[in-house]
Amino acid sequence: MTSAESTTAANETSTDTVDVAILGGGIAGLTLALQLKGALPDLTVTVIERQPHPVTEAAHKVGESSVEMQAHYLRDILGLQDHLETEQLRKFGLRMFFPHNGNDDIARRVEFGQIEEAPLATYQLDRGRLENHLGELLTSSGVRFLANQRVNRVELRAGDEQHLIEVSDGGSSHRSIHARWVVDATGRAGLLKRQLGLAKPVEHRANSSWLRVEHPIAIDSWSTDADWQARTDVEVGPYGRRGGARRLSTNHLMGHGYWVWLIPLASGSTSIGIVADADIHPHQGFNTFDRALEWLKSHEPQCAAEIEQHSDKIQDFRIMRDYAYGCKQVFSEDRWCLTGEAGVSIDPLYSSGGDLMAISNGLIVDLIERDLAGQDIQEKVIAHNQVYLVLSEIWLVAYAKQFPLMGNAQVMVAKVIWDTMMYWSVPGLLFFHGKFPRLGDSPQAMGNLLQAWKIHSRVQQFAREWHAVDDRPAEGVFADPYTLLPFIVDLHEGMAAGLPDDELEDQFAKNVRLLEQIAGQLVATVIERLRDEHELSAGPQIERWLEDPLLTELQSVYRQAHELNPIDDSWIMLGRQSPTMV
């Protein structure tokens, strides 16, 4: 028995009228339908999905790692806590291993990651298991879920006239669906984006190949070094687990121009994927299973050995070329919207796709609620488009042109810590407090968002410039972000502080000022260190930094703030303090 209605009767032609038709029954469309029914129980919603349901577990889709915003969306907004806690895995944070001498001994690699569970839970998601559960919930909540159905035509109509969607099962059964709202959740197929010519290229070219192995690969077993094992051999959270915690992280094996993920799934399988800059590692070098295995033998031999050992348990192998893209518009006053990867796709490094999906779904629900209440949504559509597209650009700058840095442990650890603080203090804070649908109403908040974007963009450029003059080797260091910067726990917990709106605005402003201080500290510390160590080749770059008005301003903010709020700069230097801090 399936959770979806697979076909109509043979030779049947039917006509339905609904409030909302959602094209695509993957995670974006299913969660949107559930959120809509929670907000508007009497709403009539139809979801149209081309695949049969239920789908397979484990070897279904990538996007298996969640971070705080998506976890909050699934757990708290959609009410899926029981499923997440009993049918999925608690994630043990982001973990990175940077290259060292052929990468044949993981204990010698610089490791970035936590040693204790973070205050706010995140999850490793078996997408098939989750989407099957969502399908069952929708059916029980009154959503019509049409699986194994193809959208043949969408006719968008202006004014109050209802849109027309024509659907078939590939045979003699046809449906005509009239809908006030149409939402494209068709993922990379981008049905409406293609139809309307909304595609927008981005300055980020990378490719991916991945597979699932029906075996729980334990990265903790890759070394018998007692000190390395002891790093995470601590009590973890309320479950009292000790040891073996690395396996539950989203593990990243980092190198020049690439990273490799290892993600555990609740079914016992492990997801393994290669992500690489197209100019540094052309996709034809790893776009088949055999090529990918040879590529891993060359770059990540310990990972390759695990795959070979369990080659009889390979469940799939898939690829994705040139996966990043943008969009000119995602919401329309003519009552159509794009959500999830039907609109924008950035990069999987920080698992941001689920976050952008959660934001877009929330903005869509807000527009539909206002429209059905009789409000004019024109200004809200403009504001929501601006908010969403600005956020996607903020995420993009963390990845575009940054893959050459991935083998540089010192620069990347500082960058990842910066990116984490940026995430928790800006979009994380606003999303947990439900601010995005109202952000356009606050000039102060929009101003702070744009200032954060400006600083964030310059820090990403600074990281590239730093890497170009300082790419020294490092080994054996363990960098725990919570130890290096204890105050970021406050940023993490602060996302869920439940502040009233006036206090939220104040906190957001404080967070942006903190980012200015941190950015200034990064610049000042790197300049000081390169000078102290007589890095003569860095001289011209240092002069350019000193002449940059924005970097000068940020250093000034840092020096003034440091008097009242001193921050240890060892986060910039792989745990080593600069002489002025000792």
At residue 3 the predicted structure's pLDDT band, cuts being 50, 70 and 90, is low
Cβ proximity of 53 and 128 under 8 Å: no
- What is the Cα gyration radius of the chain? 24
DSSP H or E run through 478: strand 478-479
Identify which has the larger pLDDT, 377 or 5. 377
Q: Pairing between strand 478-479 and 111-112? A: parallel
Residues 6+ apart with CB under 8 A from 447: none
DSSP H or E run through 208: strand 206-213
Residue 29 has pLDDT above 80, yes or no: yes
User: What would the DSSP string read from start to end of 548-581?
Assistant: -HHHHHHHHHHHHHHHHS---GGGGTTTPPPGGG
**Mind listing the pLDDT tens digit for each residue in 43-52?**
999 999 999 9
At residue 5 the predicted structure's pLDDT band, cuts being 50, 70 and 90, is low
At residue 486 the predicted structure's pLDDT band, cuts being 50, 70 and 90, is confident
**Mind listing the pLDDT tens digit for each residue in 326-355?**
999 999 999 999 999 999 999 999 999 999
Distance CA 527, CA 557 (A): 16
**pLDDT value at residue 150:** 95
Distance CA 244, CA 248 (A): 8
Q: What percentage of the chain carries pLDDT values higher than 70?
A: 95
Distance CA 185, CA 327 (A): 14
Cβ proximity of 472 and 412 under 8 Å: no
Cβ proximity of 108 and 475 under 8 Å: yes
**pLDDT value at residue 241:** 43
Average pLDDT, integer, range 403-413: 97
Average pLDDT, the chain: 93
Average pLDDT, integer, range 466-475: 94
At residue 235 the predicted structure's pLDDT band, cuts being 50, 70 and 90, is low
Phi first, then psi: what are they for 232, rounded to 5°? -110, 15
Q: Is 22 exposed, middle or buried (0-12, 13-18, 19+ CB in 10 A)?
A: buried
Distance CA 574, CA 35 (A): 43
Average pLDDT, integer, range 174-202: 97
Residue 576 has pLDDT above 70, yes or no: no
Residue 281 has pLDDT above 50, yes or no: yes
Residue 511 has pLDDT above 70, yes or no: yes
Distance CA 529, CA 545 (A): 14
**pLDDT value at residue 263:** 98
**pLDDT value at residue 152:** 95
Distance CA 188, CA 56 (A): 20
Residue 1 has pLDDT above 60, yes or no: no
**pLDDT value at residue 534:** 72
SS3 state at 33: helix
**Mind listing the pLDDT tens digit for each residue in 131-146?**
999 999 999 999 999 9
Q: Side chain identity at 505, as an amino acid letter? A: E
Residues 6+ apart with CB under 8 A from 403: 206, 257, 258, 276, 277, 280
SS3 state at 65: strand
Q: Across-strand partners of 15? A: 176
Q: Is 316 exposed, middle or buried (0-12, 13-18, 19+ CB in 10 A)?
A: middle
Cβ proximity of 522 and 573 under 8 Å: no
Distance CA 327, CA 311 (A): 39
Q: Across-strand partners of 175? A: 14, 167
**Mind listing the pLDDT tens digit for each residue in 252-275?**
999 999 999 999 999 999 999 999
User: What would the DSSP string read from start to end of 77-135?
Assistant: IS--HHHHHHHSEE---EEEE---TTS--GGGS-EE--SS--SS--EE--HHHHHHHHH
**pLDDT value at residue 126:** 96
| Dihedral angle sign, alpha carbons of residues 231, 234, 236, 240 | positive
Q: Across-strand partners of 153? A: 166
What are 189's two structure tokens? 């197929």
Distance CA 89, CA 267 (A): 9
Q: At what angle do helices 289-299 and 301-309 cross, to 10 degrees?
A: 140
SS3 state at 298: helix
**pLDDT value at residue 533:** 83
**pLDDT value at residue 227:** 92
Residues 6+ apart with CB under 8 A from 333: 377, 378, 381
CA 266 to chain centre: 20
Distance CA 127, CA 314 (A): 17
CA dihedral 158, 162, 163, 164 (to 10 degrees): -140
Q: What percentage of the chain carries pLDDT values higher than 90?
A: 87
